[in-house]
Structure 1
Amino acid sequence: MTDFAPLLIADRRQLATILYKVTKSGFDAWLKDLPQRARTAVSVARFKGEPGSVVILPGDKVDEWNAAAGVSEEGNPWDLAAAAQKLPEGMYRLAAQGEPGEAALGWLLAQHRFDTYRSAPKPEAARILLTTDIASIDETVRLAHAVAMVRDMVDTPSADMGPAELQGAAQALATANRATCRITRGDALLAGFPMIHAVGRAAARHREPRLIELEWGDPSHPRIALIGKGVCFDSGGLDIKPSSGMLLMKKDMGGAAHALALARLVMESHLPVRLHMLVPAVENAISADAFRPGDILKSRKGLHVEIGNTDAEGRLILADAITLACESEKAKLPELVIDFATLTGAARVALGPDLPALFTNDDALADALLAAGGSIGDPLWRLPLWAPYSDMLKSDVADVNNAGSGGFAGSITAALFLERFVASGVAWAHLDTFAWNPAAKAGRPKGGEALGLRAAWTMLKRRFAPPG
């Protein structure tokens, strides 16, 4: 993984290239103060301050130059990403407009590369950004590493990112942060997590299903649970997907990647909480003992679930994990449960790839998450837990059907299914995220992406971090 720490450093007045941030509205005022040589370069480059554009400004000497980057009017984390990709290697200091702020994250992530599978990776030039806001450096670097972690895990092919690899990632986090990691695997799941076992048993010979748990922090602190859907490849099961539907199914563990990355941020930042992270990890495969449409599974909670579609498997494994997360620890329920899942195509039809659908049973939690995401450029969009749609989940022979009926409101009915497994009185949020960029943008390559991670982290900091 890219080491971001050397790319954002304290400004000790080192020799550096000046980088101007220019908006379209401020372009004319900025241009008139430039010397003629620089104005000519701007004209030749047709630079007008458009976001994502970059221009080199020559000085009076051959080896003397500065640069300018077009940025948005409102400011966002990706304002300097194009500059970090396009400018020559070197050290840069922003002109008098101020500190990089949120844009430092985009500067770092623009220099992240996933080249594990390239036989001859191209050496990348290092663009170093100076800042006098020394207190923000560690947080920005931690956040960049967390986002890159999600991207790398999602981009890794399923052959190399199975349940065992998710377990390895959790165990490495636990070791690095003095946390406890507990694994329930294979037939041991039958006693307490029957739906995780049922979904994963078809692949058990080579890729045993498992529940991965990580616990960290002072038990006297507020208890929170982070849950991530860890379907490492989803064939659809016996309700098999078409080949086109499987092409991106390496990313069906994107929820697990988000939960692991958020747990990393919590622990590395020493947030005063009692953390319980849960990742049900399976492959939804096809074999003689695959679970079938029409089967009835008994969940950890005791509810019986009729299988209307084996391709609605993510909610099954999440249900057992949510049930465990909501069980009291020494008569103490969790204060907060957040799950991340690449759960439904319906959420993408409704909101497209950029906006995770947010469902929650707590209005204050919804407001906090929406405000956090909006403030740092990681937006969420709330969809309703519309109770009347629960009728779509009715079963003639069991307590609930996993797939619903009618073909309507697929993301809502999936969230309503999960809500049945949340204990009364527990604040819960479900993020139905895509975890993928279908097209490249500055600082955001095509491929795996953390969507909703920064919003959730900002909310947790605001809620639990001590003042100051």
Structure 2
Amino acid sequence: MNQNKSGPGTSLVGWNIKSWLSASVNTLDDADLELVYCGSDVPSSQCLSLVKESIPAWQSRAVNFDEGDFFVLSGQQKPVVIMRAKSPTEAQKRDAGLLAPSAYGQARDLVGRAVSEVRKFKSQKVNLRFESCQDREILGALVGLELAAYSYKQSVAAQPAPFPALGLSVKAELKDEAQAIAMGTNIARHLVNSPPNLLYPQSFANAVVELFANVPGLSIDVWDEARLQKENMGLILGVGGGSENRPCMVHLRYRPEGKSEAPLALVGKGITFDCGGLDIKDPAGMRLMKKDMGGAAAAVGTLYWMTQSQFARPLDVYIPLAENAISGKSYRPGDILRAKNGMTVEIHNTDAEGRLVLADAMAVAGSQSGSDKPAAIMVVATLTGAIKIGLGSDVAGFFSTDEALGQVISKRSQEWGDLMWRMPLFDGYRSRLDTNVADINHCATGSYGGAITAALFLTEFAKGYPFSHMDIYAWTDGERGALREAGGSGQAVQCLAGVLQSFGL
């Protein structure tokens, strides 16, 4: 984060945002731990020679880069961690290689793992050295450092533990870019980790306003309940009607100086807590529902990356915020609600609330005209459990009505190690949304194909625009790669960064 220019704020829901990379210095002569990353251009047989003089001879026998990619060695004077990514296996090359580990992703996750060794050794001064690395590997490694340094409990503690001194010698532009993408991802993680008694619609809106208050070219408009009523946004009003925490929507309009392209519209689902409404969830299903605003968190993190990186383009971010709760004012199965675009929607299941708030926000995005008319509408949301059943928690699903946009998402998700798999918008299931009493039923009958029918519902509100929808999990259930604790994962931020950079090329 560049603290020398006007830009995003430095606090967020109890976190005094700090970057480890921003405090790094040139290589430290008196470091007590050495991290060495060998690039893919270094033959595995030569990696050990890079640290051979620093370790006892017997340690050499413990290192075999044909079998492993991460080794912790007892050095002559200090521990040494040496890393080199493996080449993709034949199994990983399946499916056109779209789920194969990338150079960026492997470096990110290996160096992120190394941060655990920093903590184990209680290091005070750490060097990170790169040997014959490509820029993508260095970028990934630096992102991994920053991601692994984040801890929710530490971030909100009254006196968080200081980071050890970090020594590295890399190009300034690589460090700046890594800092922007990593901190954007960590912001998304922090929002998801924040408890729902602290992060509810209005406090989420306030946090976003505070975070982006001083960004040149960025305007922020918060639509309160009265504005939602004036704009005839009956879907978000219906979902949020049962909670004491009233619904709202945040619109962030980013128009960087000197950029004249048509804006992209990014819509993030912001259900700050989801009990399921009158179709109440069971306790196990409800326990993690503070993460049901993971799409909104990803949208905020992506905008943060853009405002801090050297890349910029016009962007509109729409964040519909509501809490799906139970009271005498809750919406019911069988209700008919009217959307912003005039469509009538029959409610089938109150636990399928996310697509409703997204639809109203998408209608707002699609109603823009002139220079504000979007080039595409992109949605990111923790929308269905069905996608996790099909793809697991590490691979998100996505849908697209536009072939060029779909291909960009597939390629960039692999390159950025933020995996997405394209799912079919099978029109044969569209009839499941038919109803005799309204224009559309928001939730299909039957238990199969739920992620597809949810996406088909959303496409009704993006007609006339290239459209994509990322159905994400936004959570990691344990340590995974550079994510060194269970909690918010920041899923989709890195992929979206790649997609936005590539759009229209």
Is the shorter-chain TM-score for this pair beyond 0.5, marking a shared fold?
Answer: yes
Cα distance between partner residues in 2 of 1:297 and 1:95: 58
Deviation at 1:456, TM superposition (A): 1.1
The equivalent residue for 1:384 is 424
Are 2:304 and 1:264 equivalent residues in the alignment?
A: yes
Deviations 1:92-133 (A, max 9, x none): 141533363312111221111111687676625425241322
Aligned partner (choices 228, 243, 247) of residue 209 of structure 1: 247
Aligned partner (choices 83, 86, 94) of residue 73 of structure 1: 86
Aligned partner (choices 5, 19, 24) of residue 35 of structure 2: 19
Aligned partner (choices 39, 48, 54) of residue 57 of structure 2: 39
Aligned partner (choices 120, 127, 131) of residue 96 of structure 1: 131
Are 2:337 and 1:320 equivalent residues in the alignment?
A: no
Cα distance between partner residues in 1 of 2:370 and 2:45: 65
Aligned partner (choices 220, 225, 228) of residue 189 of structure 1: 228
Structure number with the bigger relative contact order (C-alpha 8 A, sep ≥ 6) is 2
Cα distance between partner residues in 2 of 1:464 and 1:367: 12
Deviation at 1:144, TM superposition (A): 1.2
**Please, what TM-score do these two structures have when normalized by structure 1?**
0.90
The equivalent residue for 1:438 is 477
The equivalent residue for 1:144 is 182
Deviation at 1:189, TM superposition (A): 1.5
Letter in 1 for 2:355: R
Letter in 2 for 1:268: Q
Cα distance between partner residues in 2 of 1:251 and 1:334: 28
Letter in 1 for 2:86: E
Deviation at 1:29, TM superposition (A): 4.3
Describe the SS at the equivalent of 1:282.
Answer: strand
Rate the CA distance shift 1:117–1:364 in 2: closer, same or farther, 3 A. closer
Residue pairs, 1:223-262, within 5 angstroms: 223-262=263-302
Deviation at 1:439, TM superposition (A): 1.7
% same residue? 28
Cα distance between partner residues in 2 of 1:182 and 1:120: 32
Rate the CA distance shift 1:442–1:354 in 2: closer, same or farther, 3 A. closer
Cα distance between partner residues in 1 of 2:394 and 2:189: 15
State how many pairs are aligned: 456
Letter in 2 for 1:226: L
Query: Contact between 1:90 and 1:126, CA under 8 Å: does it hold in 2?
Result: yes
Describe the SS at the equivalent of 1:388.
Answer: helix
Are 2:7 and 1:3 equivalent residues in the alignment?
A: no
Rate the CA distance shift 1:119–1:5 in 2: closer, same or farther, 3 A. closer
Aligned partner (choices 405, 409, 415) of residue 375 of structure 1: 415
Cα distance between partner residues in 1 of 2:311 and 2:480: 32
Letter in 2 for 1:79: L
Are 2:195 and 1:157 equivalent residues in the alignment?
A: yes
Unpaired runs of at least 5, structure 1: none
Cα distance between partner residues in 2 of 1:400 and 1:184: 26
Query: Contact between 1:110 and 1:443, CA under 8 Å: does it hold in 2?
Result: yes
Deviation at 1:15, TM superposition (A): 5.8
Deviations 1:250-278 (A, max 9, x none): 00011110111112222233644322111
Letter in 1 for 2:480: K
Cα distance between partner residues in 2 of 1:84 and 1:58: 17
Describe the SS at the equivalent of 2:326.
Answer: coil
Deviation at 1:210, TM superposition (A): 0.5
Rate the CA distance shift 1:32–1:328 in 2: closer, same or farther, 3 A. closer
The equivalent residue for 2:113 is 82
Letter in 1 for 2:72: V
Deviations 1:191-221 (A, max 9, x none): 3211111110111xx3110111111205843
Deviations 1:380-404 (A, max 9, x none): 1000111111011111211111110
Aligned partner (choices 123, 126, 131) of residue 169 of structure 2: 131
Are 2:213 and 1:175 equivalent residues in the alignment?
A: yes
The equivalent residue for 1:105 is 143
Describe the SS at the equivalent of 2:197.
Answer: helix
Letter in 1 for 2:181: L
Cα distance between partner residues in 1 of 2:372 and 2:155: 46
Are 2:72 and 1:55 equivalent residues in the alignment?
A: yes
Cα distance between partner residues in 2 of 1:36 and 1:447: 37
The equivalent residue for 2:458 is 418
Letter in 2 for 1:151: R
The equivalent residue for 1:115 is 153
> C-alpha root-mean-square deviation of aligned residues, in Å?
2.7
The equivalent residue for 2:92 is none
Q: Which range is displaced more, 68-77 or 390-399?
A: 68-77
The equivalent residue for 1:350 is 390
Q: Which range is displaced more, 281-290 or 87-96?
A: 87-96
Letter in 2 for 1:299: A
Unpaired runs of at least 5, structure 2: 1-14, 88-102
Cα distance between partner residues in 2 of 1:236 and 1:78: 35
Q: Which range is displaced more, 18-27 or 296-305?
A: 18-27
Letter in 1 for 2:341: K
**Please, what TM-score do these two structures have when normalized by structure 2?**
0.84
